[in-house]
Amino acid sequence: MQPANAERGQWGSRLGFIFAAAGSAIGLGNVWRFPTTVGQNGGAVFVLVYLLAVVGLSFFVMIAEFSLGRRTQRNPVGVYKTLAPGSAWKYLGVLGVLTGWGISSFYSVVAGWTLGYLWKTAVGAFNQASADQIASMFGSFVADPLTQISLHFLFMVATVLILMGGIKGGIERWSKILMPLLLGILVLLVVRSVTLPNAGIGLEYYLKPDWSKLTGRGVIAAVGQAFFSLSLGMGTMITYGSYLSRRENLVTAASWVCALDTLIALLAGFAIFPALFSVGLEPSIGAGLIFVVLPNIFNKIFLGNLFGAGFFLLLAIAAITSLISIVEVPAAYFIDERKWTRRKAVLVSGGGAFLAGIPAALSLGAVPGLSSLLTIENRTYGFLDLMNLLFGQYSLIIGSLGVAIFVGWKWGLSNLFAELREGNPDFRAERLFGFFIKFFCPIIIALLLIYLIFNPNAFA
Ligand code: PFF
């Protein structure tokens, strides 16, 4: 099948695709959310369950998404319109496009914080500040409307500019430069962190499982984290797969993306936990882990400002290569289904996400009414939290379940295997892949969804 129109484009090389897909997967989810969730769920034991979730669920959902995208060369809505014409399946694609818009709006706000903290750390704003002062500095930073909206705007403008460059010249070119840079800075931080005094305590927490800390909530959180981190459930990997040529081996590509994403998440843990314990802080601190705690750590180490600025630069890089993939989903929809030019599609998607992100940017203190919209079991959700809960969690789980059911039961395993044999004629693992995609993934994800409906705070 040929691309729908000249505005679509294709990846220039296999390596370019892997960098771009890994760039999508590796983001705030790995560097900020992964260590935070590890810290809230008992350390090493959570890491183990997370690894199982990547290998047993996410890897197969990723294969399914790549296959659908490459088969049809379409955006998520176009996929279902092509493979199940006239059916309600297209609404699964619509959900993906809406989710792309929803996630990009608040993701850009949080990504903006990395720019603010890059600047603050580089100029030494936290030097000599006490832990309490650092915490209140974060509070006043996120409560300042002008700063929040400007940083959100800046991040979205950078995203739109990269996306306007298209598939090969934009996403691929930038990912190839930014991804290796990211790995380099992270390795530097790990070396610094594991050589701090008392780093061993953090390493033990991170590596030696304490089985008494294994909880149902931890298992659910691990699976949810794996979907978020691997950009699954909203059609990002469908869209990236749609720019892929028939010669590529999808199983190898998915293996690389899963391995690189997991490597970065694990390295982020190695950078954070030894340092955290070295200065005697609690791992379960939650969402403020990076923005409230790390400046304390950077204050206490040699060349702290430099390492701190390096860390936030790394996080900004990771966030932008993810954000471009999120905004690309609605953009691909407009290009394919509405026949818009790439320029117009990207401007409308990015502009829409910017507007939708304004209430999120103002919901951390700037406009008090937006910071507490809903309370479930003692947990108060502001606008940003609600967007994260709805789009970043529920929607991704529903989307992943839908993809597994569609591929396993509607499109069918024989079509999937035929697609996997393109670029990999020796593919022989039909029974293994069939079992996981048709039975294991739908059942486990459905159970997860049921659990989430009854425990809306499971990820909170
Ligand atoms: N995987 C990204 C991260 O770990 O930060 C976030 C993300 C990107 C989620 C794309 C969902 C998505 F479709």
Q: pLDDT tens digits for 345-364?
A: 999 999 999 999 999 999 98
320-343 as b/e, with b when 16 or more CB fall inside 10 Å? bbbbbbbbbbbbbbbbbbeebebe
Which residue's CA is the nearest one to ligand 1's atom 9? 231
The pLDDT value recorded for residue 3 is 44
The pLDDT value recorded for residue 11 is 66
Q: Which atom of ligand 1 is nearest to the CA of 228?
A: 9
Q: Which range among 57-66, 71-80, 132-141, 393-402 has the greatest average pLDDT?
A: 57-66
Kindly report the pTM of this predicted structure: 0.90
* Residue 301 within any structural domain of the chain: yes
Question: Which tokens go with 242?
Answer: 């749609």
Tens of pLDDT along 236-277? 999 888 888 778 899 999 999 999 999 999 999 998 899 888
309 vs 284, higher pLDDT: 309
* Residue 90 within any structural domain of the chain: yes
* Residue 137 within any structural domain of the chain: yes
**Average pLDDT score, the chain:** 88
37 lines ligand 1 (CB under 6 A): no
234 near 96, Cβ under 8 Å? yes
Residue 58 main-chain phi, psi, to 5 deg: -60, -40
Residue 214, pLDDT above cutoff 50: yes
Tens of pLDDT along 153-176? 999 999 999 888 876 676 777 767
174 near 321, Cβ under 8 Å? yes
Distance between CA atoms of 268 and 72, rounded to whole angstroms? 36
pLDDT average, residue stretch 102-106: 93
93 lines ligand 1 (CB under 6 A): no
20 lines ligand 1 (CB under 6 A): no
Question: Which tokens go with 215?
Answer: 């909880």
Distances (CA, A) of 121 to 116, 124, 310: 9, 5, 9
* Residue 220 within any structural domain of the chain: yes
Distances (CA, A) of 272 to 110, 185, 196, 199, 205: 19, 13, 11, 10, 11
Residue 65, pLDDT above cutoff 80: yes
Which structural domain range is residue 210 located in?
A: 14-362
344-361 as b/e, with b when 16 or more CB fall inside 10 Å? ebbbbbbeebbebbbbbb
**Nearest-CA neighbor of 402 among 172, 87, 53?**
87
234 lines ligand 1 (CB under 6 A): yes
Q: Which atom of ligand 1 is nearest to the CA of 99?
A: 13
Distance between CA atoms of 268 and 271, rounded to whole angstroms? 5
Count: domains in the chain: 1
**Cβ atoms < 10 Å from Cβ of 303:** 10
34 lines ligand 1 (CB under 6 A): no
* Residue 110 within any structural domain of the chain: yes
* Residue 169 within any structural domain of the chain: yes
Percent of the chain with pLDDT over 90: 54
* Residue 387 within any structural domain of the chain: no
* Residue 19 within any structural domain of the chain: yes
CATH number of the domain where residue 95 is located: 1.10.4160.10
SS3 381: strand
